[in-house]
Structure 1
């Protein structure tokens, strides 16, 4: 017999588009209850990517326990399956300490791999195959590999830029190991078997206000040294196009430093792509009927939404919450 929802381990989540103040609100909530924060942001898992990912500062992370930030180096790939494993372990450890885990971020796939217990098939990985493909790209050119991908998996090829070395090689590696196109890899969920007693809040705001915040935040990141952060990564030997430098903002600034774009064009491109990201994130999360939406009107005034969250956590997580509120 399946466990009743209220008998499952409790989990709180804060999701929504970028620049809505999820990290700030999570910190306020975590300090009001016995809670620990878990990153659900595919950019903030990278070490040395701080300013451009709006990662919580060392001071902020010292105010409440934070997990899965600074998890991997910028030149390392990190799959959704790997995230699920790391996040599940963090959640279990936090719950064993008698505290409430708070999953915080805007990466919808990360959120769903955990809350919907996605079951992943083989990842189709092999370091020797990958190394061979990288050598082939150097010797024959990346376009040769892209043509191979187009012939063997046209559905994947149309979604991958011809200059995206990492994704082209990953797709060919999967084909080599699995004998089938990576576009056919289907993530299957365990229907009606959610592992947690979940309560999830989504943060939203009127689109004009959100876009204004995005533009202001990009300007602030640049003032705080975003470009210098990218220069430091390149100086440390991280190649343009590696996973970390392929992230929004880092990709555009790398192109600027290589002379591919002018400064004003670069800044506007970062803002434009961030607006598009926010729109995609909202579209993703709006499909989830479990989410309780809160409209954030003033990022500086978080006591009201924090109070709503803490009250509903106590009500919906019932007896479990009595130990943490």
Structure 2
């Protein structure tokens, strides 16, 4: 196993993770792996709040501009990209930075190898009118552990069933997850709610001022509206505005509100789903990581 220290910096959207990571990377002579479900896509530059070209010239970033808009993103892709980054870097420290802590948890705890799912199977599953009901009929044990609103896991369960002719609960029993081979030290930025709200308001206004709506408008002429990144906060509201379903004022308000709601979910997830995670204010976290590494 390659000698390398992996340090994950988590936190709510808008908490300043990227800014902190860049500062740490230059201080520690480290590189950055982006764990962000929008930055992984090419051409979504404004609404993903990607690091600038100047910032990426200062510190090498992995996991950015990897997928086309119409490609699927999941934890296994991030795991493989992280392993590739570990292989490529010649630095002793790699900072894992992003708000997609669900993916990090999946990577740490392990992922089962997935079967190859054909385009035909995906299309078949997409046409099912009551997917949760169908999944419950095919595999009640698997379905009862999933919320009916969890469209991603329902879809995956059905795709596994039709691809392997095996109930997904049995498939995962035969293909248990394998934990990540490298240890990851995990930290999280703590930030007061009102400060976070002000940061999110300013960031949203800047994204829209810099052409976030036009960015999505141009991409919609090339890629289907049901592409995965278009369902994310920011692109989703911009599409509603472009379809004249909401006003510009409502667009801005909804992005801010939805981002704050996401931040609350992220905070809860980070506090409850990681066994060994340390919480610090941003400046204190900078000092602590420098002290430790």
**Following the alignment from structure 1 to structure 2, what is the Cα–Cα distance between the partners of residues 310 and 214?**
27
The CA deviation string for residues 38-62 of structure 1, in whole angstroms up to 9 with x for no partner, is 0111111111111111111111111
Count of residues in correspondence between the two structures: 283
- Say whether 1:43 aligns with 2:38: yes
Give matches, 1:143-292, under 5 Å: 145-147=128-130, 149-153=132-136, 158-160=148-150, 172-179=158-165, 190=178, 195-235=181-221, 237-287=222-272, 288-292=274-278
**Following the alignment from structure 2 to structure 1, what is the Cα–Cα distance between the partners of residues 91 and 131?**
52
For normalisation by structure 1, the TM-score amounts to 0.77
Quick check: 1:204–1:294 contact (8 Å CA) kept in 2?
A: yes
Instruction: Extract unaligned runs of 5+ from structure 2.
Output: 137-142
Task: Report the 3-state secondary structure (helix = DSSP H, G, I; strand = E; otherwise coil) of the residue aligned with 2:32.
Answer: strand
Quick check: 2:132–2:148 contact (8 Å CA) kept in 1?
A: no
**Following the alignment from structure 1 to structure 2, what is the Cα–Cα distance between the partners of residues 42 and 76?**
12
Give 1:117 shift: 4.7
For normalisation by structure 2, the TM-score amounts to 0.85
Give 1:168 shift: 7.4
**Following the alignment from structure 1 to structure 2, what is the Cα–Cα distance between the partners of residues 265 and 283?**
27
Task: Report the 3-state secondary structure (helix = DSSP H, G, I; strand = E; otherwise coil) of the residue aligned with 2:236.
Answer: helix
User: Which of residues 253, 271, 289 in structure 2 aligns to 1:309?
Assistant: 289
Which range moves more in the overlay, 102-111 or 123-132? 123-132
Indicate the structure (1 or 2) with the bigger Cα radius of gyration. Answer: 1
**Following the alignment from structure 2 to structure 1, what is the Cα–Cα distance between the partners of residues 180 and 113?**
19
Quick check: 1:11–1:102 contact (8 Å CA) kept in 2?
A: yes
The CA deviation string for residues 114-137 of structure 1, in whole angstroms up to 9 with x for no partner, is 3x2503143462223224556xx4
**Following the alignment from structure 1 to structure 2, what is the Cα–Cα distance between the partners of residues 160 and 290?**
27
Quick check: 1:34–1:100 contact (8 Å CA) kept in 2?
A: yes
CA RMSD, 1 decimal:
2.8
C-alpha change, 1:266 and 1:98, in structure 2 (3 Å) is closer
Give 1:104 shift: 0.5
Task: Report the 3-state secondary structure (helix = DSSP H, G, I; strand = E; otherwise coil) of the residue aligned with 2:202.
Answer: helix
C-alpha change, 1:170 and 1:146, in structure 2 (3 Å) is farther
Q: Which residue of 1 aligns with 2:94?
A: 101
C-alpha change, 1:194 and 1:151, in structure 2 (3 Å) is closer
Instruction: Extract unaligned runs of 5+ from structure 1.
Output: 138-144, 297-301, 314-325
**Following the alignment from structure 2 to structure 1, what is the Cα–Cα distance between the partners of residues 170 and 208?**
40
